[in-house]
Structures are given as C-alpha cells and as structure tokens.
Amino acid sequence: MESKRIAAERAVDFIKDGMIVGLGTGSTAYFAIRKIGQRVKEGLSIKAIATSKQSENLAKELGISLLPFAEIESIDITIDGADEVDAEWNLIKGGGGALLREKIVASASKQLIIIIDESKLAEQLGAFPLPVEIVPFGYEMTIKKLRKQGADPVLRTADNQTYLTDNGNYIVDCHFGKITRAEELHQALNLIPGVVDNGLFIGMATLVIVGYQDGTVKELLKM
C-alpha cells in the first residue's frame, strides 16, 4: 500500500492550478484523489472528471469540483492505476471494472500518468487476465467468440451475482497467456459484436510512475 501511495503522490505533483484533471479508479488512484483533495483544501484550483462512481463519490467527499464532459474540450492530465505495465508502457486495466470510463477519459487526456507499485511491472502483458466489457444481451454468444480468439474467458461475479459495471455491462476476464501482439488482439476483440471495449491500453500512457517497497519512486524508462 505504501508503494502505491508514494507513486500516487508523486504524480499529483504534476497537477497545476487551472487544470482539468481525470481521476482514475482503484486502490492506487484512491491515494492520488486523496492527495488532490488535500491540495484543493490548501488552495489548488482544479476541476475534475471521474472514471467511476466510486471515484466520483470520493471526489465529492473531498470537496473536489467535478465537471461534465459537455463543458470541456479536453482533459489536461489523468492519473490512473493499472493491473500490468510492460516496458513500452502498454497496459492492462480493468481489474477494478472501470476500463471503459477509464479509456474514454484517457483518450480525452493530453497526459496520462499511470501509477503502480512494482508488482505491476511485466516483461510481457498477459499474466493478469484481460478484462473485456460486454453488453448483457447475448453474452453467452459473445463469450463463445472470445474463446475463439484464444481466451479462457471467465464471467466476473461479485457476491455470487454477475458483476455489473457502472455502465450496466458485464466483465469477462480473459486468460490469454502471454500477449505477444497486443495491438492486433485489441482490435480483434473490439470487432466482436457485444464487446464494448477491452482493458488493453496501447500507446496511451505518457508517463509511468512506479513505487517500490524500499520507499523509492521512479519514472519507468520507455523501451
């Protein structure tokens, strides 16, 4: 937890007065939002867009002003976590179920700072099962098609019920083994009718900040 916190707090140093800030989702993004809340109390003037209801609620509790998409053209900086990061800064996201809103916010952002602890670093993506958001209609068929793409798909549940995203969709966690052609896989999955999006974020991160157990924080070198 400490390594997540130190990475998160370093990222918040990049936020300046007047910025529009994307708020990520998950236990690492939580520390960033807390720190942003603290800086807002100290006088930082920013507006934010959240990537989940959970982060939106936290932002409201902390007194961070939120904006609707209708009122913005772009987001200056988004700070978000990830489940896996490779040396080219490609990511798997969606462990917390927020991949779609996270990708919409990331794609509208000039800077996407990814905050992770060292356990998330991977030589090749794929040890973490890739979350895929699918619509409930016909989900059994969509899952068969995911299997045909080489996945071992598992429909996500929570409290013995099918897990529902903030968008009312399902998540299928897809075990592919090592993902060698991430870009191709990303495209192929999103072409399946019923798939809304998947947790591969290719070429979107502009900086990756890693917190280590020994208390150090480093910016990841890009290969």
Alpha-carbon distance of 50 to 43, in angstroms, equals 20
Q: To the nearest whole angstrom, how small is the minimum distance from the Cβ of residue 17 to ligand 5RP? A: 26
Residues 6+ apart with CB under 8 A from 158: none
**Residue 164 CB neighbour total at 10 angstroms:** 14
CB of 18 to ligand 5RP, least distance (A): 26
Question: How far, in Å, CA of 153 to CA of 158, rounded?
Answer: 16
Kindly give the pairing relationship between strand 200-201 and strand 91-92.
Answer: antiparallel
**Do residues 24 and 79 make contact, with C-beta atoms less than 8 angstroms apart?**
yes
| Candidate list 102, 118, 133, 183, residue with the active-site label | 102
Q: Would you call 88 a catalytic residue per the annotation?
A: no
**Segment contacting ligand 5RP (CB under 6 A): 11-19, 20-28, 132-140, 203-211?**
20-28
Can residue 93 be called a binding residue for ligand 5RP (CB under 6 A)?
Answer: yes
The dihedrals phi and psi of 91, each to the nearest 5 degrees, come to -130, 150
**The residue to which tokens 């356990």 are assigned:** 119
- Closest to ligand 5RP by CB, 83 or 86: 83
Binding to ligand 5RP by residue 80, rule CB under 6 A?
A: yes
What is the smallest separation between the CB atom of 28 and ligand 5RP, expressed in angstroms?
A: 3
Q: How many residues bind ligand 5RP (CB under 6 A)?
A: 18
Does position 37 bind ligand 5RP by CB under 6 A?
no
Nearest approach in angstroms of CB 142 to ligand 5RP is: 20
Distance CA 143, CA 80 (A): 28
The only residue of 94, 129, 194, 211 in contact with ligand 5RP, by rule CB under 6 A: 94
The amino acid at 130: L
Q: Does 130 bind ligand 5RP (CB under 6 A)?
A: no
Output the smallest distance, CB 148 to ligand 5RP, in A: 25
Does residue number 83 form part of the binding site for ligand 5RP (CB under 6 A)? yes
Nearer to ligand 5RP, 45 or 119 (CB): 119
Helices (H), 87-168: 99-107, 139-148
Q: How many helices (H) and strands (E) does the chain have?
A: 6, 15
Residues marked active site are found at: 102
Q: Which residues bind ligand 5RP (CB under 6 A)?
A: 24-29, 80-83, 93-99, 102
